[in-house]
Structure 1
Amino acid sequence: MELRHLRYFVAVVEEQSFTKAAEKLFIAQPPLSRQIQNLEAELGIQLFERGSRPLQTTPAGQFFYQHAVKLLSNAEEVKSMTKRVGMVERTVTMGFVGSLLYGLLPRIVYLFRQQQPQLKIELIEMSTKDQIQALKEGRIDVGFGRLRISDPAIRRVLLREEPLMVAAHSSHPLASQKQGVYLADLVEESLFLYPSHPKPNFSTQVRSLFSEYGLEPRSLREVREIQLALGLVAAGEGICIVPESACSIQFPHLNYIPLLDDAAVSPIFLAIRSMDESEDIRSLFDCIYQVYDLEAIKYDRAVL
């Protein structure tokens, strides 16, 4: 006996007609009649009163109907629960550098959750360098970072290049330069860099940016994290270079001024294992570009 036999029988009972049941099941009537006859032969009992109009079940048929309905209901519940169990077991683990939380990453992850409700999504803060090793060891499935770190086992996709800004106290002379400033304007300033470890990191990127233009800042001080750096700037202790998305961090008397040098950008990379072409990763890319489209952000779409 198969579940389809139970479905056929229940349909005939509920429609009280082989003809109507066949229409409901989208099958021809003769095959349906044969399936019911085979079911009766297997059970060794008569399920329907012959010649009754409308079609009526025998006492045994009524008993079988009640239990058939329960069995079909239980089968659907088992199917549904099994799907849910399978869905929970699918996990996408993302590594990310902390500064990306001030940008579009939260929106991307939220959209990904909405569009892929069957996935369990985990977020782990870690440096770009640590993300590479975590990808190779299978501890994460995707990494979001800012550094160009090459590894043959890892595929790195440039999502976009984020402009850099200068954070300064509202009383600082730079704060009046609303149109923007150049790196050369900053070399005599007291400049906070972050994070202090591990290397390479965003502070390494800022140092390299000055070197690219042949500049050497007079005073550099590394601090633990971006919030500490901006808090010190708000206290009038110096200035700090940050990604544009960090402008969402607000302190009293804290101003953000654009950096005008062409190379004053911070790249945002997505890293995955070189051979990973899963549908989950494709869906994540789609969410990224949907958010970028909404924000009118230019990008080169990657094709997996």
Structure 2
Amino acid sequence: MELRYLRYFVAVVEEQSFTKAAERLFIAQPPLSRQIQNLENELGVQLFERGSRPLQTTTAGQFLYQHALKLLSNAEEVKSMTKRIGLIERTLTIGFVGSLLFGLLPRIIYLYRQQNPNLNIQLIELSTTEQIQALKEGRIDVGFGRLRISDPAVKRVLLRKERLVVAAHSSHPIAQRVEGVHLADLVDEKLFVYPNTPKPNFSSQLLNIFAEHSLSPQNIRELREIQLALGLVAAGEGLCVIPASADTIRFPHLVYIPILDSGAVSPIFITARAMDNSEDVQAIYDAVFQVYDLECIEYKKAPFQWGQAED
């Protein structure tokens, strides 16, 4: 028994007329009558009382009608769920460095989820170096990092440069300089840097910034992560330089002071496989700048295509 026969039959029952059912189904009446007759022949029963006005079902016809409604409803549910499952099977895996969670990345991912409800989005914390390898191996599709690492298999676009700030205990003399400090003011201080993972990483990037200003801090202690570093700063143990967006991390007596040097910035990059120009990857790139527009953040948007990206 074909589903289309059941759809024809249900239409005739509900319209109580072959003519009206044919109009509802956008078919001619003679073919509709033949389909109902074929259904009756297949079942070996009469489904309608012939000659009744309006058209009435027989007992067998009423039984079939009740079950036909359930069968058609189940068929639509199966169809809908199959389509949905097929869409959800599309997956985009995003790698990110942990410090970006304190900035705009959560808003970007949330917006992207709202705009792509049928896309399965997975997030994996990876260092920038790990992201490059993961992209080449196909374990992630997009990366968000802070290091400029070149690889011919990967395209990279600079999203923006984020200012750096120094975290200090409120009792520290530097905490009184609310207008800002220079890197030179920090070289003789005890500095916590993070992470202590294999180089290059944010700590090596920071020390390179000092070196570019002909400065070399002597009292450096490497720690596992930013929260640990800021916790020790809040305990009065030293200072820590962080991206400005991470000033959302709050401890009692912890203050953040701007660093005034023009080169005291941490770049934020988006990366993808060199030949991947999929709509899903382009869409998350676009979502970044939608959030930047909402936050009134200045940026220079480059085409996210291999050979055209600028950083």
Aligned ranges for residues 1-304 of structure 1 at < 5 Å?
A: 2-27=2-27, 29=29, 32-33=32-33, 35-37=35-37, 39-40=39-40, 46-304=46-304
Offset at 1:247? 0.4
Shift of 1:200: 0.5
Q: 1:284 to 1:212 in 2, by over 3 A?
A: same
> Relative to structure 1, is the Cα distance of residues 230 and 24 closer, same or farther in structure 2, using a 3 angstrom cutoff?
same
The aligned residue for residue 309 of structure 2 is none
The SS at the match of 2:49 is coil
Structure 1 alignment gaps of length 5 or more: none
**Matches of 1:303 and 1:19, distance apart in 2:** 59
Deviation at 1:84, TM superposition (A): 4.0
Q: Tell me the residue number matched to 2:307.
A: none
Change (3 A) 1:302 1:58: farther
The residue matched to 1:65 in structure 2 has which SS? helix
2:254 partner amino acid:
L
Distance in 2 (CA, whole Å) between partners of 1:294 and 1:11 is: 51
Greater alpha carbon shift after TM alignment, 146-155 vs 42-51: 42-51
Letter paired with 2:192: F
More deviation, 129-138/153-162:
153-162
Q: Greater shift after overlay, 260-269 or 65-74? A: 65-74
- CA–CA distance in structure 2, aligned partners of residues 34 and 198 of structure 1: 77
- AA aligned opposite 2:174: L
| Separation in 2, partners of 1:107, 1:174 | 32
Deviation at 1:206, TM superposition (A): 0.6
Distance 1:294 1:22, change over 3 A: farther
Distance in 1, matches of 2:256 and 2:27, equals 70
TM-score normalized with structure 1 length: 0.89
Structure 1 letter corresponding to 2:125:
E
User: How far did residue 185 of structure 1 move?
Assistant: 2.4
Greater shift, 175-184 or 40-49, is seen at: 40-49
Deviations 1:13-41 (A, max 9, x none): 11212343344334555554454455456
- For the structure 1 residues 162 and 30, does the alpha-carbon distance in structure 2 shift closer, same or farther, using more than 3 Å as the test? farther
Maintained 8 Å contact 1:179/1:258: yes
Q: Report if aligned partners of 1:127, 1:198 keep a CA contact under 8 Å in 2.
A: no
SS at match of 1:293: helix
Q: Provide the C-alpha distance between the structure 2 equivalents of 1:26 and 1:6, rounded to a whole number of angstroms.
A: 16
Query: After the TM superposition, which segments of 4 or more aligned residues of structure 1 sit over 6 Å from their partners?
Result: none
Change (3 A) 1:168 1:72: same
Preserved CA contact (<8 Å) 1:192 1:240: yes
Task: Describe the superposition over 1:38-71 as per-residue Cα deviations: whole angstroms up to 9, x where unpaired.
Answer: 5456656554333321112234433433332232
The CA RMSD over aligned residues, in Å, is 2.4
Same amino acid, percent of matched pairs: 73
Residue 285 to residue 21, structure 1, CA distance change in 2 (3 Å): farther
TM-score, normalized by length of structure 2? Answer: 0.87
Change (3 A) 1:43 1:299: farther
Tell me how many residue pairs correspond in the alignment.
304
Report the alpha carbon displacement of residue 246 of structure 1 after superposing the two structures with TM: 1.0
**1:289 is aligned with what amino acid?**
F
SS of 2:66's partner is helix
Which region of structure 1 is more displaced relative to structure 2, 282-291 or 71-80? 282-291
Moved more, 108-117 or 218-227: 108-117
Name stretches of at least 5 consecutive residues in structure 2 with no aligned partner.
305-311
Superposition deviation, residue 288 in structure 1: 2.4
Q: Deviations over 1:147-182 (max 9, x none)?
A: 111111112222222111111222222222222222
Instruction: Select between 72-81 and 30-39 the one with higher mean Cα deviation.
Output: 30-39
Q: CA 1:88–1:211 in structure 2 vs 1: closer, same or farther (change >3 Å)?
A: same
1:222-250 Cα distance to aligned partner (Å, 9 max, x none): 22211121122222222211001110111
Matched to 2:69, the amino acid is: V
Give SS of 1:199's match.
coil
